[in-house]
Amino acid sequence: MKILVLTAHPDLKKSRINRAWFEALSEADAVTTRDLTAIGGPEMRFDIATEQALLLAHDRIVFQFPFYWYSAPPVMKAWMDQVLSYGFAYGPGGDKLKGREFLILVSTGGPAESYHAGGYNNFSMDELLKPFQQTASLTGMTYLRPFVTHGMAVATEEDIEATVPAMLAHLTDPELDPKVRQARLLRKLAEDPAKAAAIS
């Protein structure tokens, strides 16, 4: 499985968590990392043919970004609006991404407890990421469970380092497709008739 990580941070040099993730991913096997801010330049302009060829050469597409105002920085959206074009990602003949996997890798400043009804951010990450989930759906990609790290506003260097192995394990896990996970659970249940009977 080949993984393409598109990183959308306005200044990766000044980042803590996203730089640590980007560096770890850049050293991982079968992972291609792209710093969209560096590639797009100050006008956030992308070479569409290059970007589309890269998408076609990978099986799992990862959007990596810090969560600013409940979404990605503008360079992520600039890339999406330019590269996910009519006839490529949607519309007639626009099935080029169909069957690929799509995964969000995101860090938030606020704590996990705030991303709930009754928390100061009111909504869950799943609710706030629906625009990305639906982008995956329209382009025929399988939306995988996001990897989310909260509380980065007050994280120590040790907190940040500790996220790296779990992030790498999640991103490179070949069995994140929800249908694969369900099938695995059903196989386990089939091996244990007593448990299967208990939930039926």
**Does residue 16 belong to the site contacting a copy of itself (CB under 8 A)?**
no
Task: Between 95 and 127, name the residue whose CB sits nearer to a copy of itself.
Answer: 127
What residue type is 120 in one-letter code? Y
Q: Which is nearer to a copy of itself, 48 or 138 (CB)?
A: 138
Smallest distance from a copy of itself to CB 24, Å: 25
119 token code pair: 């928390």
SS3 at position 126 = helix
Using CB under 8 A, count the residues that bind a copy of itself: 30
26's tokens: 């850049």
DSSP for 63-124, please give it.
Answer: EEEE-BTTB--HHHHHHHHHHS-BTTTBSTT--TTTT-EEEEEEE-SS-GGGSSTTSTT-S-
Residues 6+ apart with CB under 8 A from 123: 70, 115, 117
Of the candidate residues 2, 57, 120, 165, the single one contacting a copy of itself (CB under 8 A): 120
18-47 positions binding a copy of itself, by CB under 8 A: 42-44
Rule CB under 8 A: say whether 10 interacts with a copy of itself: yes
Amino acid at 17: I
Work out how close the CB of 171 gets to a copy of itself at its nearest, in angstroms, rounded to a whole number. Answer: 22
Q: Is 85 in the site for a copy of itself (CB under 8 A)?
A: no
Is residue 50 within 8 A of residue 22, CB to CB? The reply is no
Give the Cα separation of 34 and 75 in Å (integer).
12
154 interacts with a copy of itself by CB under 8 A: no
CB of 124 to a copy of itself, least distance (A): 10
CA distance 186 to 56: 32
Cβ at position 90, least distance to a copy of itself in Å:
10
**Is position 131 an interface residue for a copy of itself (rule: CB under 8 A)?**
yes
Binding segment (CB under 8 A) for a copy of itself, from list 16-24, 28-36, 68-76, 189-197: 68-76
Q: Is 69 in the site for a copy of itself (CB under 8 A)?
A: yes
